[in-house]
Chain A
Amino acid sequence: MKKKSTALRLRGVTKSFAGLTALDSLDLDVKPGELVALLGPSGCGKTTALRIVAGLEKADSGKVLVRGEDITELPAHKRHMGMVFQQYSLFPNLTAEENAAFGLRMQGVGGAERKARALELLDLVGLSALAKRYPHEMSGGQQQRVALARALAVEPEVLLLDEPLSALDAKVRTSLREEIRRLQLELGTTTIFVTHDQEEAMAISDRVAVMSRGKIEQIDTPDVLYSNPASSFVASFVGNMNRIPAQFDGKHAHLLGGKAKVSNTDSAAPTSVVALVRPENIRLFKPAHNAKAVADATVLNRSFLGPVSQVTARTADGHVVSALLPTADTGDLHAGDAVAVELLAKQIMIEGSNA
């Protein structure tokens, strides 16, 4: 059945605010049980898209379909969505249990059943012990867990997460994002997760939609986005990227004393371009006395990141490059050391030079 293959579908959704286009004919398909992240810089339209799905904003044009049913004109309270907001949104006059039961109360579910379900959800997020606590008696992470339980209690058609982790500290953020993924997989809830944190998006999503200027630039699995970005914007936004001046011969980019095939070949590209190279595709090493260095550089800094270290160096022609190396290989690299730079990537992307 075609209808069931898509839990949520956006078609040509356009929205402007005071003449500024927030969404530009956006199309999106989300499969049942899938977690799709909308990732992008501030103002790219990701939250607007989510709010239109929730019914909290009205699209200027386009359609929103849930399991094939057009809900574009349906008010928010009839859409049967669950939403977790960036800002703490628990009702302050209700306990955690009452908060979790709120949606069920709106659905007319009886008291006993409501309570049982609320406690079940609180248990799922590990907070059954805090059922009688008010929001002000809970930490930010706990509040967001309760908000998640509240959103899931109604068994929503789509779970909408609007940067729910951004107000939390790094440690809580990591554990809660894993918990969101665990719950989402366990309950099989179709989920849209809005974030500007690419690490967050890549860590828990089935697919990531990278947005820019109200459009989806690319939607794919995290692996594909990282290894095979469709545009230089996606390449730059997803993961870290060195931007190194290079010479383009129509097929290859020449840089750092080596060359790599260009994946986004554009015959109109100028000769002088900027090559986009991931830090793990650059190697910095102390050259053997008799070895010929690929390119010369001087180490500027080494940052210990655990099993890997990030080393930055300035090349002989004055460009700063960053390399991600196994920590074991960086022990003899210190600031001021002369090193050789080697380009490991066989294929890279380029941008027109802005030099």
Chain B
Amino acid sequence: MKRLGFKLPSAGLFIAVLLAGVFVLLPLGSASEYSFRTPALGPGTYGWDNYAWFVSQPDFGTFITLSLLLAAVAAGITLLVLVPTVVWLNLRGQKLRPLMEFLTLLPLVIPVVALAIGAQTSLPVELQSNQYSLSFFYFVLALPYTYRTLDIGIRAIPLKTLSEAARSLGASQIKVIALVLAPVVRGAVIASVFLTIALSLGEFTLTSLLHWQTFTTWVTVISQSNILGAIALSVFTIVAAFALLLVVGLVSIRTKRRQVTEE
């Protein structure tokens, strides 16, 4: 089928980009326009009042800080658990790759409700009462994306050969990791860390089901008292998330272009 040849003519590409742009930007533009309205000052007036409103909310700083902290811990788990696992899989555990593919797809297959009930019934009470256990769940929920980002990035690098070359030149295992492996996998690692952060910051369902309050659940509550403020908050969240994804994209492009070359 020619349509699946992935070589759209430039006009087709243009139309596709235009449609995608309209699809994304039109609602965002409309919401933005709405968020700047200041009906209190009269019809047709615009200002930052709605943004000032949610920033001035006493819990805004608390919850955004908490969400950022939870996201940072989730990113830390990705760094400490997932990165070494994927590196090891690529160096020595090729046979376990199908199992890993399967396991990392599970968060997409298992409904979040089931995950929440499982957490509530099987986790020790001490863990359940610790808000930072959310970070672990964020890490799990991000796995389908973070694992693949990491794996594709790392698989493109001949890690085994590089590691063996370094060893044959006198590098100990620690030096191999510090001087060879870490620099070359950095791009893929950064991309997966950003994905974890993006997903953590936006996660609502599981947080809500586990009766925790973070920035996303707070937004839901606060939006019920001020509709324009809630729209302003939504625009702020979308733009902030988009900016974060843009960073991820730029990092990925940089990684691809350099094919594991950086600095």
B169: which of A88, A92, A102 is its contact (CB, 8 Å)? A102
In the bound complex, do residue A93 and residue B164 qualify as a contact, i.e. CB atoms below 8 Å apart?
no
- Can you list 10 A-B pairs with a CB-CB distance of less than 8 A? A75-B167, A77-B169, A78-B170, A85-B164, A88-B158, A91-B165, A92-B260, A93-B184, A103-B169, A135-B261
**Shortest distance between the CB of B154 and any CB in chain A (Å):** 13
CA–CA, A154 to B180, complex, Å? 18
In the bound complex, do residue A102 and residue B166 qualify as a contact, i.e. CB atoms below 8 Å apart?
yes
Please name all residues of chain B whose beta carbon is closer than 8 Å to the beta carbon of A75 when the two chains form the complex. 167
CA–CA, A92 to B161, complex, Å? 12
**Shortest distance between the CB of B148 and any CB in chain A (Å):** 22
A87 contacts chain B at the CB level, 8 A cutoff: yes
Apart from A56-B167, A85-B164, A89-B161, 11 more pairs, CB < 8 Å: A54-B164, A77-B172, A78-B170, A81-B168, A83-B164, A89-B165, A102-B171, A103-B170, A106-B166, A134-B261, A151-B168
Contact size range, B: 20 to 34
CA–CA, A147 to B179, complex, Å? 17
In the bound complex, do residue B161 and residue A85 qualify as a contact, i.e. CB atoms below 8 Å apart?
yes
In the bound complex, do residue B158 and residue A89 qualify as a contact, i.e. CB atoms below 8 Å apart?
yes
B211 contacts chain A at the CB level, 8 A cutoff: no
CB-nearest residue of chain B relative to A93?
Answer: B183
**Shortest distance between the CB of B260 and any CB in chain A (Å):** 4
Contacts A85-B161, A106-B175 given; indicate if A92 touches B258 (C-beta within 8 A).
yes
Q: Mark A150-190, 1 if CB is under 8 A from B, else 0.
A: 11001000001000000000000000000000000000000
CB-nearest residue of chain A relative to B171?
Answer: A106
Contacts A88-B158, A106-B175 given; indicate if A76 touches B168 (C-beta within 8 A).
yes
Please name all residues of chain A whose beta carbon is closer than 8 Å to the beta carbon of B261 when the two chains form the complex. 92-93, 134-136
**Shortest distance between the CB of A158 and any CB in chain B (Å):** 11
Q: How many A-B residue contacts, CB cutoff 8 Å?
A: 81
Chain A 44-79 interface residues, beta-carbon cutoff 8 Å to B: 54-56, 75-79
In the bound complex, do residue B166 and residue A91 qualify as a contact, i.e. CB atoms below 8 Å apart?
yes
A80 contacts chain B at the CB level, 8 A cutoff: yes
**Shortest distance between the CB of A18 and any CB in chain B (Å):** 11
Please name all residues of chain A whose beta carbon is closer than 8 Å to the beta carbon of B167 when the two chains form the complex. 55-56, 75-77
A82 contacts chain B at the CB level, 8 A cutoff: yes
In the bound complex, do residue A154 and residue B164 qualify as a contact, i.e. CB atoms below 8 Å apart?
no
In the bound complex, do residue A93 and residue B166 qualify as a contact, i.e. CB atoms below 8 Å apart?
no
CA–CA, A82 to B166, complex, Å? 10
Please name all residues of chain B whose beta carbon is closer than 8 Å to the beta carbon of A103 when the two chains form the complex. 169-170
CA–CA, A160 to B165, complex, Å? 11
A136: which of B158, B166, B258, B263 is its contact (CB, 8 Å)? B258
A107 contacts chain B at the CB level, 8 A cutoff: yes
B220 contacts chain A at the CB level, 8 A cutoff: no
Chain B 217-263 interface residues, beta-carbon cutoff 8 Å to A: 258-263
**Shortest distance between the CB of A142 and any CB in chain B (Å):** 15
Please name all residues of chain B whose beta carbon is closer than 8 Å to the beta carbon of A91 when the two chains form the complex. 162, 165-166, 179-180, 183-184
In the bound complex, do residue A136 and residue B169 qualify as a contact, i.e. CB atoms below 8 Å apart?
no
CA–CA, A85 to B263, complex, Å? 25
Contacts A91-B180, A92-B258, A136-B258 given; indicate if A82 touches B158 (C-beta within 8 A).
no
**Shortest distance between the CB of A64 and any CB in chain B (Å):** 14
Chain B 176-222 interface residues, beta-carbon cutoff 8 Å to A: 179-180, 183-184
CA–CA, A214 to B169, complex, Å? 27
Chain A 95-139 interface residues, beta-carbon cutoff 8 Å to B: 102-103, 106-107, 134-136
CA–CA, A85 to B169, complex, Å? 12
CA–CA, A147 to B164, complex, Å? 13
CB-nearest residue of chain B relative to A102?
Answer: B169
